[in-house]
Amino acid sequence: MVDTNEAVGPAGLSAAIRLKQLSAEAGTELSVVVLEKGSEVGAHILSGAVIDPIGLDKLLPGWRDEDTPIKTPVTDDRFLFLGESGGIRLPNFLMPRLMSNHGNFVVSLGNVCRWLAEKAEGLGVEIYPGFAAAEILYDDAGAVVGVATGDMGIGREGQHKDSYTPGMELRGKYVLFAEGVRGSLSKMAIA
């Protein structure tokens, strides 16, 4: 089970895809579930990014021959030293190799996540948008065994509205938190 309390991003979706790939290679049927806080995958993700395609080349080797949202290669890097009166361009050879983006792509991360979600669902990953994990479930020994979604249909004063639906428990042999940098459940599990 891949779980997120924030927006599911490329790392969580890639993990879900890889789990299904490994399951298929082993000849087993592994159920992989992704919870997405937003109304759809990509709805709460950063808009733009520069990505290195090396991970995609390994995860989905044929992706370059498909119609993907990864189309705009980086053609130029410019670095400026900014001061009060403007900017001075720094020569690229002075920058660390890490700052070279040649071979990378400029993308809409939301579109990349939607595309990865389609790939994941094609492999049998179950994605549930509109459900945020609200609580970590532990067994008697203190091991993480799942998550519970939050109750829905609760008014501002805490009263149940007509649309009230209690949260659900989702249990799994493995639970992966792919919440990003501000993941509240990950912080709770680490603590």
pLDDT recorded at residue 70: 96
Beta partners for residue 41, in sequence order: none
CB 44 within 8 A of CB 7: yes
Collapse the DSSP code of 81 into the 3-class scheme (helix H, G, I; strand E, B; otherwise coil) and give the result: strand
Closest CA to 17 of 2, 35, 27, 28: 2
Q: Per-residue confidence of the chain (191 residues) as pLDDT tens digits?
A: 554 455 688 999 999 999 999 999 999 999 999 988 888 888 878 778 999 999 999 999 999 999 999 999 999 888 888 999 999 888 878 777 777 888 999 999 999 999 999 999 999 999 998 888 889 999 999 999 999 998 888 888 888 899 888 889 999 988 888 887 777 888 888 88
Distance CA 41, CA 45 (A): 8
For CA atoms 164, 154, 185, 128, the dihedral sign is positive
pLDDT at 183: 78
Instruction: Please give the Cα distance from 55 to 8 (Å, whole number).
Output: 17
Instruction: State residue 6's pLDDT score.
Output: 58
Collapsing DSSP to helix, strand or coil, 132 comes out as coil
